Amino acid sequence: MGLVKEFKDFAVKGNVVDLAVAVIIGGAFGKIITSFVADIITPLVLQPALDAANLKNIEELTVFGTVKYGSFLSAVISFIIIALVLFLVIKGINATKKKEVAAPAAVPVPTKEEILLTEIRDILKNK
């Protein structure tokens, strides 16, 4: 029975549940970003370049007729676009967060001894 209880304690810990939620949301967000890049951004960025090279697909690019660098170039461009989109999304999220203004530190209230010493100092100054 101890093994089952230990597993239950492990599986229900807040960190494990938080991690599971983060992975699920990350997967869904990844699909959104992939679709955004593949369906919107990449065609807008690459279509003029492909038209200039008289190509329909970037994977058709080759060197010496055998080295197909178009697929690699496509992956690099997709990575750069994904990184840029994620940067802009995170920057937007951070901008929407309320910046907490630090409350000014309260001036400490002087103790009775400090008040008495201040009065003595003031009396001595006036003499």
Instruction: Give the pLDDT of residue 74.
Output: 75
- The structural domains of the chain, with segments of one domain joined by +, span 2-103
Q: Is residue 2's pLDDT more than 60?
A: yes
Q: What pTM was computed for the model?
A: 0.47
- Identify the CA nearest to 56 among candidates 66, 65, 46, 64: 46
Instruction: Give the pLDDT of residue 100.
Output: 56
CATH no. for 2-103: 1.10.1200.120
Cα–Cα dist 127/117, whole Å: 16
Cα–Cα dist 80/45, whole Å: 12
